[in-house]
Amino acid sequence: MLNIAGSGHTAGSLGLADIVAALYFDVLKINPEKPDWADRDIFLLSNGHTVPVQYATMAEAGFFPVAELKTLRKLGSRLQGHPERTKLPGLENTSGPLGSGLSQASGMAYSFQYLDDAKHRFVYVIMGDGELDEGNNWEAAMFAGKYKLSQLIAVVDRNNIQIDGNTEDVMPLEDLRGKWESFGWHVIEIDGHNMESILDAFSMARAITNRPSVIIAHTIPGKGVDFMEYDYKWHGVAPNSQQAADALKKLHTLDGKINTGDNAR
């Protein structure tokens, strides 16, 4: 899909595949037939550049035909290079410029907790780790901490890369756990590729009812494709045809090694 598009963000998309799959096939209360269902959970992708993994997962979940994935980034497509809510039913927000997804999620969670009496609805937001350089995130972290937005569950994709290199070289984020804790958040750290850990973490986060939760998910950028893994140079580029064929071959060797549960095709 990224190869056909000719551009896009490969590494982060692959690294988030497990978490996004967990969300759409287990965690989120959603209905692909009725994307506007009034009691649904909400998922926001704040680091909108990883939207290929969201599109792919939404297609598999039944929001739109899988064949439409080939239109990614093409003129007239509903699958814009960065997600646009008004273009595609099922997308909950428009994102790309980094740092404001947590604010939007906080507004939604505030409404559910204080204005709508909707204790059953949760708001999930994925952020990149490099994205945390943006100050807007910390305004939102302070806000959600103040109002103890317990229906807000954030995920930080801790893959340690951003466009210019390693996050700790570009702008150090550690002590990341300590930062979130000091803002009043419950912090859960997990292996972002261990499905049991992922599901446990979301379950734990929903059980915390006196403050917002953040799941720091340690992921491998380019996960599943050995020549992409850990390499920041794959952050913002798409594979060429040969690389795409090699990558898909690598990913297919994982067939049978992953327990895909009830949603296996």
Partner 1 sequence: MSDYQLNPKLYDADVQQEPIRAGFGRGLKAAGEADKNIVALCADLTESTQTHLFAEAFPDRFIQVGIAEQNLVAVASGLAAVGKIPFAAAYAAFSPGRNWEQIKTTIALNDQPVKIISSHAGVGVGPDGATHQMLEDIAMMRVMPNMIVIVPGDSIEAEKATMAIAKNGKPSYLRLARPKTPIFSTVDSPFKIGHAYKLLDGDDVTLCGTGATTYQLLVTAKILEQNGISAEVLHIPTIKPLDTVTILASARKTGRLVTAEEAQIAGGLGGAIAELMGDHMPTPILRIGINDRYGESGEPDELFDHFGLTAEHIAKKVEAFVQDKPQYHRVK
From residue 245 to residue 264, what is the string marking binding to partner 1 with x (rule CB under 8 A)? Answer: --------------------
Placement of tokens 């609805």 in the chain = 121
Residue 36 found at the interface with partner 1 (CB under 8 A):
no
Q: Which of residues 69-98 bind partner 1 (CB under 8 A)?
A: 84-86, 92-97
Q: Which of residues 150-209 bind partner 1 (CB under 8 A)?
A: none
From residue 130 to residue 159, what is the string marking binding to partner 1 with x (rule CB under 8 A)? Answer: -----xx--xx-xx----------------
Placement of tokens 């756990």 in the chain = 177
User: How far is 227 from 234, CA to CA, in rounded Å?
Assistant: 9
Residue 263 CA to chain centroid, in angstroms? 19
**Nearest distance from residue 41's CB to partner 1, in Å?**
12
CB nearer partner 1, residue 107 or residue 165? 107
Q: Using the rule CB under 8 A, which residue among 103, 113, 151, 197 binds partner 1?
A: 103
User: How far is 143 from 159, CA to CA, in rounded Å?
Assistant: 25
Does residue 8 contact residue 73 with C-beta atoms inside 8 Å? yes
CB nearer partner 1, residue 111 or residue 194? 111
Q: Which of residues 42-61 bind partner 1 (CB under 8 A)?
A: 42
Phi, psi of 206 (to 5 degrees): -65, -25
Q: Residue 8, Cβ neighbours under 10 Å: how many?
A: 22
User: How far is 175 from 232, CA to CA, in rounded Å?
Assistant: 21
Residue 39 found at the interface with partner 1 (CB under 8 A):
no
Does residue 59 contact residue 69 with C-beta atoms inside 8 Å? yes
Residues engaged in binding partner 1 (CB under 8 A): 42, 84-86, 92-97, 99-100, 103-112, 114-116, 135-136, 139-140, 142-143
